[in-house]
Structure 1
Amino acid sequence: MLELRRLRLLRELSIRGTIAEVADVLSYSPSSVSQQLTQLEAEAGVELLRRTGRTLQLTPQAQVLVAHTEELLGSMERAEAALAATLSTVTGTVRLAVFQTAMLALMPPVLRELRTTYPRLRVEMSQQEPAEALHETSSRNFDLVVAEQYPGHAAPHYENLDRRVLTHDAIRLALPARGAAGNAEFDRVATLEHAAHLPWVMEPEGAASRHWAEQSCRLAGFEPDVRYETADLQAHLQLVASGNAVALLPALVLRTDSGTLRAVELPGAPMRTIFTAMRHSSTQSPAMQAVRSLLHRQPGMIDEQGSADPPPTKRLLR
């Protein structure tokens, strides 16, 4: 009989591509992973892995097993959720992946309320980039993800994930408060075009937010002078507040400012979309429902099913 634990190793190999990565993700040694896969091959009675140069390829028979393993893992997850639903107390562990803004602006009150309402529920939270977090949630290394996508930049879709819009977050041009920069050019900015000759801070190349920001500047008729690069949006705030740069920042980031910035509206009132995603097979889990429902019930959030595309008439989040 095939063992589910070994089947999961095969599935992970189909996702990760190398035994070393499978071992790293599951906290095994590479030799242990190899031994377990060899034993699975013996149990199956067919060749599952074929070496091509320095890489391992899954045979067609292995791909069949991987597809069934996905179904088995989903069934197990649904069974665990059904069992947990028979209990009077919400317990267990929820592994949550969030991006930086969500960790700073959304999660503190949610975690506090969870601790009070569900004292036996454990939440483990990790800061992750949205694309990686969605991939790892699909792969079962996280249970729930809070992710973002910028206008015209769709986040990756996975068939086994259930997505719900959390909010639409207005994006604005962030500037130092009037007089704070010691430079009248900052004070005169009233539109995006006025910032054409000022220094900018943006996220590193490759980030959806960076590509969107650059395209916005180009549509306004200029190439931004990006002098500072960092993925830390709190650093963006500090660089802007100190009069060293301007930036395009979402409302949730600006909400953490203590009054040292001013914000200018952008043409078309662009918004990023923030959404939650979890596996379809875990949506009935009381623990997962508790965390997700509380997130969607926060002030300014959307507590309903919806696509991750902002309606054109959506009001700005303030």
Structure 2
Amino acid sequence: MELHQLRILRELADLGSVNAVAKALYVSPSAVSQHLAQLQRGFPAALTQKDGRRLVLTAEGKLLASAAASVASTLAEVEAKIRTQDQDLEVPIHIAGFHSIGQTIFAPLLTYPEGELPPLRFSDEDVSQQDFPALTSGYDLVLAHRMPHTAPWPEERIAVIPLAFEPLDIAIHRDHPLAAYSELSPEQVIDERWVVSRSGYSPADVLETIAALAGRAPMVEHRVNDYATAGALIEASKCLGILPRYTARNTLDETVILRPIKDLNSGRQIDLLLRAEHLHRGTVNDVINAIRSTVQRLVIS
């Protein structure tokens, strides 16, 4: 049993397929399969099994994958003790985030004084909620969002740091007749024309709830995930939209205003996801604190 074999097993647990593991580790799928076969020779119980065309972990495989995560955490702790703070400051921190959080906080994080934070490398990842945890395989930190009524993050595999709760509001042109109201009920808005995200994303989830409360299906004219584009369509067409209160604010024209939804606690939790071993790195914790402060300023501004 070797460390790289344990890592491959852990990646299979997190990413869900041999092809995804191969892509993440920059090796061929056959190499992944060979390493798994070598690891299997050391155990009498099966570590993997076929589920249709996919290779998945057995209960024993999941147990060993969990142990692999513990090994990685222990090694990271020792490495952090050996490496000096100056050496650690030279190692870039790779951060992924959904589009609207990236538009809002990536640039402010680069304004910290030189030497206060390590080099930061940003990527935007427009994925469905259930796909955020797997991103921790390729990034040090992942900014993710989750609707409160959905399944929690898999905290047996990743660490979760709550950042903020962001309400989702009705976005409406200021000249629209409904803009005169300080809040809008599902019954008031359900018969309007809509621009919302694709299914599986927060705005579409909220619109489905509005439809259920109003008892009628919405008239969706545009499916757009980018909030700036959605705002432009609301401005031009007088459609209604559903946008996050804090992270969409800077992308909206002044003619588009936000109104809370009456009697509906609509919103999303913004969290920071990471593999637990990264918490042993002082520079990662420095970046976490900077992200937390930046998000907090966004909420109270």
- Fold shared by both chains (TM-score > 0.5): yes
User: Judging changes above 3 Å, is the alpha-carbon distance between structure 1 residues 221 and 54 closer, same or farther for their aligned structure 2 residues?
Assistant: closer
Question: Is the deviation greater in 205-214 or in 79-88?
Answer: 79-88
Cα shift at 1:226: 1.1
Match of 2:37 in 1: 38
Q: Which has the higher helix share?
A: 2
Structure 2: runs of 5 or more not aligned: none
Match of 2:250 in 1: 255
User: Judging changes above 3 Å, is the alpha-carbon distance between structure 1 residues 171 and 22 closer, same or farther for their aligned structure 2 residues?
Assistant: closer
For residues 29 and 226 of structure 1, the distance between their equivalents in structure 2, rounded to whole angstroms, comes to: 43
Amino acid at match of 1:146: L
Amino acid at match of 2:139: F
Match of 1:293 in 2: 289
For residues 217 and 171 of structure 1, the distance between their equivalents in structure 2, rounded to whole angstroms, comes to: 15
Among candidates 133, 136, 140, match of residue 143 of structure 1: 140
Among candidates 222, 227, 231, match of residue 221 of structure 2: 227
CA contact (8 A) 2:190 2:210 kept: no
Asked if 1:125 corresponds to 2:120, the answer is no
Amino acid at match of 2:212: R
TM-score with structure 1 setting the length: 0.78
For residues 158 and 11 of structure 1, the distance between their equivalents in structure 2, rounded to whole angstroms, comes to: 15
Structure 1: runs of 5 or more not aligned: 179-183, 303-315
TM-score with structure 2 setting the length: 0.82
Amino acid at match of 1:196: I
Aligned residues: 295
For residues 188 and 292 of structure 2, the distance between their equivalents in structure 1, rounded to whole angstroms, comes to: 37
For residues 276 and 154 of structure 2, the distance between their equivalents in structure 1, rounded to whole angstroms, comes to: 13
CA contact (8 A) 2:228 2:252 kept: no
Match of 1:175 in 2: 172
User: Judging changes above 3 Å, is the alpha-carbon distance between structure 1 residues 17 and 86 closer, same or farther for their aligned structure 2 residues?
Assistant: closer
Amino acid at match of 1:283: L
Match of 1:306 in 2: none
Cα shift at 1:86: 4.7
CA contact (8 A) 2:105 2:295 kept: no
CA contact (8 A) 1:168 1:317 kept: no
Q: Which whole-Å deviations, capped at 9, do the CAs of 1:183-225 have from their partners, x for residues lacking one?
A: x656666634433332101111232431222212432454321
Please provide the CA RMSD for this pair: 3.1
CA contact (8 A) 1:203 1:210 kept: yes
Among candidates 242, 260, 270, match of residue 274 of structure 1: 270
Match of 2:101 in 1: 102
Cα shift at 1:98: 0.7
User: What percent of counterpart residues are identical?
Assistant: 22
For residues 266 and 60 of structure 1, the distance between their equivalents in structure 2, rounded to whole angstroms, comes to: 44
Cα shift at 1:261: 0.9
Q: Which whole-Å deviations, capped at 9, do the CAs of 1:10-68 have from their partners, x for residues lacking one?
A: 332344444323212211012222333333345x2757566657554656664553332
Structure whose alpha-carbon radius of gyration is higher: 1
User: Judging changes above 3 Å, is the alpha-carbon distance between structure 1 residues 261 and 127 closer, same or farther for their aligned structure 2 residues?
Assistant: same
Q: Which whole-Å deviations, capped at 9, do the CAs of 1:253-291 have from their partners, x for residues lacking one?
A: 133223121222322464432222323332231221121
CA contact (8 A) 2:76 2:280 kept: no
Cα shift at 1:104: 0.6
SS, match of residue 107 in structure 1 = helix
Question: Is the deviation greater in 243-252 or in 75-84?
Answer: 75-84
For residues 244 and 279 of structure 1, the distance between their equivalents in structure 2, rounded to whole angstroms, comes to: 44
For residues 216 and 87 of structure 2, the distance between their equivalents in structure 1, rounded to whole angstroms, comes to: 60
